[in-house]
């Protein structure tokens, strides 16, 4: 049973998106059933408190090696106004997005266009390097949270960005040193960072960043492991 929530206090478009059907999985990432995005993110009264479902996180780098960040729109129901990686969302329970890594790639391409206005031809599927999976649990507030099997992708591409204001409040490119400074000063500057972004940066990103230019990303990938936090 989920907690009671008054959806009328939220943005109409974000409420509509909460009707999308996510992929509920077990701890081995085996699909179990479809469930609404709303029910996947609403806290429940039974442990662990949130349904485990598939997600993806994209880290898009410019040709000169800077990382594109976004600040989530204030209209977002979970983690509004938080800074995060380039794009993070969910594969859906549709034929084209059910197939593990390939399905997550297609979902990532779809959401890069939806959230950031990046045309699909600028981010072809074969350019998404799958790195690994992260299984994590994190609260947004007393009502909403995340319990995700997160597929992590890196892509290096020259893109045009035209963010949807209902999804993205701001964007910026950062160098590795600028990202380290952001993390070091976020608390004192009153900047909020999404939990999955923090987990991925602190555990993996800097060592992957070092492999962007030497062709070593594929060698650095760990596609068969599910990292549990």
pLDDT tens track for 59-81? 999 999 999 999 999 999 999 99
Cα–Cα dist 83/67, whole Å: 13
For the stretch 173-179, contacts whose Cβ atoms lie closer than 8 Å and that sit 24 or more positions apart, written own/partner, are: 173/62, 173/66, 173/67, 173/68, 173/69, 174/66, 174/67, 174/69, 175/65, 175/66, 175/67, 176/67, 176/206, 176/209, 179/67, 179/69
Task: Single out the catalytic residue among 40, 88, 97, 146.
Answer: 88
Share of the chain above pLDDT 70, in %: 97
Burial annotation 159-170 (CB, 10 A radius, 16+ → b, else e): bebebeebbbbe
Does the annotation mark 40 as catalytic?
A: no
Query: Out of 37-46, 48-57, 183-192, 218-227, which region has the weakest mean confidence (pLDDT)?
Result: 37-46
What is the pTM (predicted TM-score) of this model?
Answer: 0.95
What value does the mean pLDDT take over residues 12-32? Answer: 96
Residue 1 pLDDT class (50, 70, 90 cuts): low
The listed range with the strongest mean pLDDT (45-49, 115-119, 135-139) is: 115-119
Average pLDDT for the chain: 95
Does the annotation mark 88 as catalytic?
A: yes
Task: Single out the catalytic residue among 97, 115, 148, 167.
Answer: 148
Residue 45 pLDDT class (50, 70, 90 cuts): low
Q: Which of 89, 193, 192, 213 is nearest to 146 (CA)?
A: 89
Query: Out of 88-102, 121-135, 166-180, 205-219, which region has the weakest mean confidence (pLDDT)?
Result: 205-219
Cα–Cα dist 124/12, whole Å: 31
């Amino acid at each position: 049973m989920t907690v009671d929530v008054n959806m009328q206090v939220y943005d109409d478009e974000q409420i509509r998106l909460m009707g999308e059907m996510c992929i509920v999985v077990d701890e081995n990432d085996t699909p179990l059933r479809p469930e609404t995005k709303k029910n996947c993110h609403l806290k429940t009264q039974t442990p662990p408190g949130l349904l485990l479902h598939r997600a993806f996180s994209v880290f898009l780098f410019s040709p000169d090696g800077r990382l594109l960040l976004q600040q989530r729109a204030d209209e977002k129901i979970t983690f509004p106004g938080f800074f995060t990686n380039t794009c993070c969302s969910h594969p859906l329970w549709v034929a084209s997005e059910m197939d593990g890594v390939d399905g997550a790639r297609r979902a990532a391409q779809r959401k890069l266009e939806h959230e950031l206005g990046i045309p699909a031809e600028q981010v072809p599927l074969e350019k998404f390097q799958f790195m690994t999976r992260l299984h994590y649990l994190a609260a947004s507030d007393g009502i909403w949270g995340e319990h995700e099997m997160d597929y992590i992708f890196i892509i290096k591409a020259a893109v045009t960005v035209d963010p949807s204001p209902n999804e993205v409040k701001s964007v910026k490119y950062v160098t590795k040193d600028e990202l380290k400074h952001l993390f070091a000063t976020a608390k004192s500057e009153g900047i909020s960072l999404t939990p999955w972004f923090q987990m991925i940066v602190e555990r993996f990103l800097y060592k992957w960043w070092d492999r962007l230019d030497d062709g070593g990303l594929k060698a650095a990938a760990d596609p068969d492991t599910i990292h549990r936090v």
